[in-house]
Amino acid sequence: MQIIGMLRHVAMACGAGQRPLCSRWTSGLPVRFLGTSSPQSPADASFHSASFSGADRPQVLITGGLGQLGVGLANLLRKRFGKDNVILSDIRKPPDHVFYSGPFLYADVLDYKRLREIVVNNRITWLFHYSALLSAAGEANVPLARAVNVTGLHNVLDVAAEYHLRLFVPSTIGAFGPTSPRNPAPDLCTQRPRTIYGVSKVYTELMGEVRIEPQRPLTTEPHPSPFLYFI
């Protein structure tokens, strides 16, 4: 639960427009966020509230790490779990200050074999999937956006399922369209986004329900958070 507060802190610091979602939990872990409650954190959701021994510390991989949130998230996770426990990855060349701040790997989410190799060789246990073509870039190259945002998602889902990883995938305010109700927009409503990025994020949300909910019983107690998790 401490990760929720940390992720919200990163998103707010970077000014990213993440879609406000609420949660249902199983065994204390978020599965799929649904609901209309205003975002809030449980009292014990502080990033620093839980302790991890050396053996318990996760081995983290962040895809799309040179985007809006990846570097900030890596910095926070490295402070908590150690520099060598958090691997930043992307298909772009990192600037010097990022490269020398901690482990960095080339990782293309369309290369399924390479993703598996990274997970196995680095004993990855947590995966934060940030790789995506956003609205403007996606509209300029729809075939590539469809490949990265949809096929890349499937590759990550399959790798996470095969190696029993904890997986985080964000949604976005772009999942709403011009016909969606506003002020406030409920989570369950007409969405119909008009960009390939928004459409792919609606698909991502639905894939979360298909891939996760049949496998894990849900409780009914909501714990609101502005993120979509697959765990």
What positions carry a catalytic annotation?
A: 197
Residue that is written with structure tokens 């999942």 in the block: 175
Q: How far apart are CA 185 and CA 60, in angstroms?
A: 33
Nearest by Cα to 11 from 198, 138, 173: 173
Nearest by Cα to 152 from 120, 108, 119: 108
**What angle, 0 to 180 degrees and rounded to 10, lies between the N-to-C axes of helices 112-121 and 152-162?**
40
Cis peptide bond upstream of 184, omega within 30: yes
Q: How far apart are CA 213 and CA 31, in angstroms?
A: 8
Residue that is written with structure tokens 């960095």 in the block: 104
Residue 126 in contact with residue 166, Cβ under 8 Å? yes
Residue 81 in contact with residue 60, Cβ under 8 Å? yes
Residue 20 in contact with residue 209, Cβ under 8 Å? no
